[in-house]
């Protein structure tokens, strides 16, 4: 059985503006000096379980070259740029077509391929616990025609994540691998609902990681979202002439067909509709690096609970996130008397906002886009 990893790395990371930009997404940001990027960490984890030639990255055309320069551990032809922005369901259908065509040339049918869909914007540790979880689910989907995902046991009432509800409660042990049938997915809740979820043992955070056998994925996509699933075969046919192309915008047939597919996530297109879905509760520590306020939960803070990165001086400053990546003329940020604020500087932009409004930073990106100030994006 051939094991293949697909690492999703196409997100723009608008909530990390101005650090995250079109050609430098959050997956390639060093959040701590001398530390690897989130994408480098994702590759390192994947290499424990998957052969390097079986690890793929799906991104977009703007990030293709930047990722290709940083990630050298896998073949260059395995870093794929989707031809248009179309969310995770079409991108995974495209990857299914690419993998099917390439491995058919090696004499490997879809029924002998298991897929692990992994993420590039999460902090996960320790690696050995992550490996145990991944190995268990890969073995499970190899022998069972199901779709699978990993759920994270909440350590706080969180309103920024989607939730997974399982049919039967997990046992109290957090170190044992447990796999249960899915009951339903839930959207990001209100604080009151999140507090209720937190107190129950059958609600988990949605990790965004998925596992399936390739033939099972195709069958389920055709059944539940035929407008995408029925086009996987056409994508394969269009890819056969040059199956190792990495920039899909150069294949006009793929580009036209892909652009016509619905813009929909894999959660909505497949996971929430399918009848046979199982959930494994993670035995590793997980944190989604989606907004600035995740950083103090992941990295070290000073005695006043400030996350500081770069050339910074503070006086009477607490509970704040201050990042200085403006290396022009030894630029200094000095903070006096601020509390619960985010300050983030690059060479051409400075963000200042309350920490409890970091989810709204994408509004600035949208405003700059409307006003044509794309040089800051």
What are the structural domains of the chain? 2-290 (3.90.550.10), 293-376 (no CATH)
Q: What is the pLDDT of residue 26?
A: 87
Q: What is the pLDDT of residue 35?
A: 86
For the chain, which residues score pLDDT lower than 50?
none
Measured in degrees and rounded to the nearest 5, phi and psi for residue 248 equal -70, -10
Q: Smallest Cα–Cα separation from 213: which of 151, 137, 269, 265?
A: 137
Q: What is the pLDDT of residue 24?
A: 82
Q: pLDDT for 206-253, tens place per residue?
A: 999 999 999 999 999 999 999 999 999 999 999 998 999 988 989 999
Helix then strand count (H, E) for the chain reads: 12, 17
Q: Provide the terminal-to-terminal Cα distance of the chain, rounded to the nearest Å.
A: 43
Q: What is the pLDDT of residue 355?
A: 96
Q: What is the pLDDT of residue 174?
A: 64
* Global confidence as pTM: 0.93
Strand partners, 114: 3, 213
């Amino acid at each position: 059985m051939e094991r293949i990893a697909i690492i999703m790395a196409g997100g723009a990371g608008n909530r990390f503006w101005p650090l995250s930009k079109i050609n430098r997404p959050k997956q390639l940001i060093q959040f701590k000096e001398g530390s690897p990027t989130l994408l480098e960490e994702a590759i390192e984890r994947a290499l424990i379980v998957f052969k390097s030639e079986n690890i793929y990255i799906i991104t977009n055309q703007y990030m293709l070259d930047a990722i290709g320069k940083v990630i050298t551990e896998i073949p260059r032809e395995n870093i794929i740029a989707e031809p248009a922005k179309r969310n995770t369901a079409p991108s995974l259908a495209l990857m299914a077509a690419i993998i099917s065509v390439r491995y058919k040339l090696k004499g490997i049918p879809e029924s002998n391929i298991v897929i692990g869909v992994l993420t590039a914007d999460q902090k996960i540790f320790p690696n050995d616990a992550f490996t145990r979880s991944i190995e268990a689910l890969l073995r499970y989907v190899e022998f069972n025609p199901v779709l699978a995902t990993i759920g994270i046991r909440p350590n706080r009432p969180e309103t920024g994540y989607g939730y997974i509800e399982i049919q039967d409660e997990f046992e109290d042990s957090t170190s044992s691998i447990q796999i249960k049938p899915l009951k339903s997915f839930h959207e990001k809740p209100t604080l009151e609902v999140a507090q209720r979820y937190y107190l129950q043992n059958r609600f988990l955070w949605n990790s965004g990681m998925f596992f399936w056998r390739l033939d099972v994925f195709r069958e389920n996509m055709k059944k539940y979202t035929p407008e995408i699933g029925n086009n996987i075969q056409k994508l394969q046919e269009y890819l056969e002439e040059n199956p190792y192309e990495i920039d899909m915008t150069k294949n006009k047939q793929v580009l036209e067909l892909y652009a016509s597919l619905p813009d929909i996530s894999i959660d909505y297109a497949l996971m929430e509709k399918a009848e046979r879905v199982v959930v494994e509760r993670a035995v590793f520590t997980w944190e989604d690096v989606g907004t600035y306020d995740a950083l103090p939960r992941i990295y070290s803070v000073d005695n006043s609970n400030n996350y500081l990165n770069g050339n910074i001086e503070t006086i009477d400053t607490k509970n704040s996130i201050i990042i200085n990546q403006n290396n022009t003329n030894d630029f200094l940020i000095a903070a006096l008397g601020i509390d619960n604020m985010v300050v983030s500087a690059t060479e051409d932009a400075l963000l200042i906002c309350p920490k409890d409004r970091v989810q709204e930073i994408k509004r600035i990106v949208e405003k700059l886009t409307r006003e044509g100030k794309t040089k800051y994006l």
